[in-house]
Amino acid sequence: MLFRTLLLMFMFSCLVQAQVTHRYLVRLNPKLSHADIQHKIIGSTFAYPSADKHASFFSDFLYLVVSDTTVLVEMLASGEIMYWERPLHRTLEFEPSDIHLSKQWHLEKIQAGLAWDIAQGDSTYVLGIVDSGVDYTHEDLKANLAYNHDDPLNGVDDDGDGYVDNYYGWDFGSDDSNPMVDEGGAHGHVIAGVASASTANELGSASPGYRCRYLPVKVTNTQGQIVHTNEAIFYAAQMGAQVINCSFGSLQYRQSEADVIEYVTNVMDVLVVASAGNRGADVDFYPAALDLVIGVGATDENDCKTDISNYGSSVDVMAPGSAIYGPYSSNQYAYSNGTSISSAIVSSAAILLRSHFPDETVFQIRSRILNSADDVDAYNFPYAQKMGAGRLNLFRAVLHSPPISEESMLIKVRPNPNIGVFNLDLYVQELGNYQVSVFDVYGKLYYREDFGADTNFIEKLLTLEYLNQGCYTVQVSNASVKSSILFVVLE
């Protein structure tokens, strides 16, 4: 009898173990729908819900619940999904120190004061801060928060954006409308303070963005884990942020993250800035290492790379990141260190630039930042040529007038999304013969045309009404250069 009982218990244990399920992120074949694959899996939900014009892109991302990844392998082989990914754990890149009152040496280093003589920002321009939350009641932060007045705290989704009462922002860690920083999780608050402290208000500290506002988007749960960063980036873009700061990351590349950032950059014209990491190593740190992201390393008062800052291909530009003074929680102020802080400074500078140059694209603002940086290789002999474009100089960025020839080629699609009929604006450095091609996400060619460029600016009207709803890439190339941009076709 005892043997039979033990055998039954063992069989039950094996059965339970066999039914353990896990959730995976997949990108669905754009030609299929959610309903087409539901019969193959235990459960599924849309990863990034969207009911607006961006739904044709984001509805392809699903969370699938399965007990055996063989199902996902088979779906990938059959072409039903484009890829699948396991959950990813990331780290925040900030190392706090004691609370002190001090001058903000970094503002003088990047010549913010001189920049403010020309540009002081605009409160309609918003910096999205995807992090661990913000103490938005802080004396130096409450005036600069981009409150969503269209959705007051009344238990109703007044603006119909799918988020109830997102008056202050959103908390993806708890899935609620309160992005208040958790106890002991001051990282996001410090980032917001350095990037968006109210300037010239006779209180506390200043920030490069001056009058520009910030949107807190919390991505930490009650255990302090970073979650749902893709959703958070999309949310910030959807809510109107023109720059998004991501002071977090890991050594792991994620295709879904690259896809989402490519979309918000190319289609929604949003600049993403991220910290290059605090390992003191030449490593690729994501999302900072993605091509469309400005990856930021840290320097000290002497323009030397800090010991903890990463360097190499993850870094596009350096910025102050040692003993940076700014708001802390509960109306306090503190020194902070790390590439997270450096990223916040660059993000703050970027939103000031976006407000002062409203007609410039994300790529032109990026060009301003990188091509106006101060060369600091002389102070960093071991890391020469491994610190990106140099150290941020906001004043020079404001003054900088990038000629068309500074970029080999710039492409813009208007409108984007569209119905297959759109204008293609081209800024080219070299005159001569070019080719324009249109592909879907699988690389299938739908259109190709050769043309000649006898001026640096060309405007072409493409009428491709036969394209089905979905995401496409338009590529322009000649013998020496190639550039492409994502666009979306709606029905």
Q: Give me the active site residues, please.
A: 131, 187, 340
| Gap between the Cα atoms of 33 and 50, Å rounded | 15
| Gap between the Cα atoms of 333 and 190, Å rounded | 9
- Which residues touch 253 (CB under 8 Å, ≥6 apart)? 284, 286, 289
Token pair for 353: 């630039």
Q: Kindly state the DSSP code that residue 220 receives in the 8-state scheme.
A: B
CA 353 to chain CA centroid, nearest Å: 17
Q: How are beta strands 445-453 and 432-440 bridged, if at all?
A: antiparallel
| Gap between the Cα atoms of 430 and 173, Å rounded | 49
- Which residues touch 2 (CB under 8 Å, ≥6 apart)? none
| Gap between the Cα atoms of 255 and 264, Å rounded | 14
- Which residues touch 119 (CB under 8 Å, ≥6 apart)? 210, 352, 353, 355, 356, 398
Token pair for 189: 């608050």
Instruction: Answer whether 153's CB lies under 8 Å from 266's CB.
Output: no
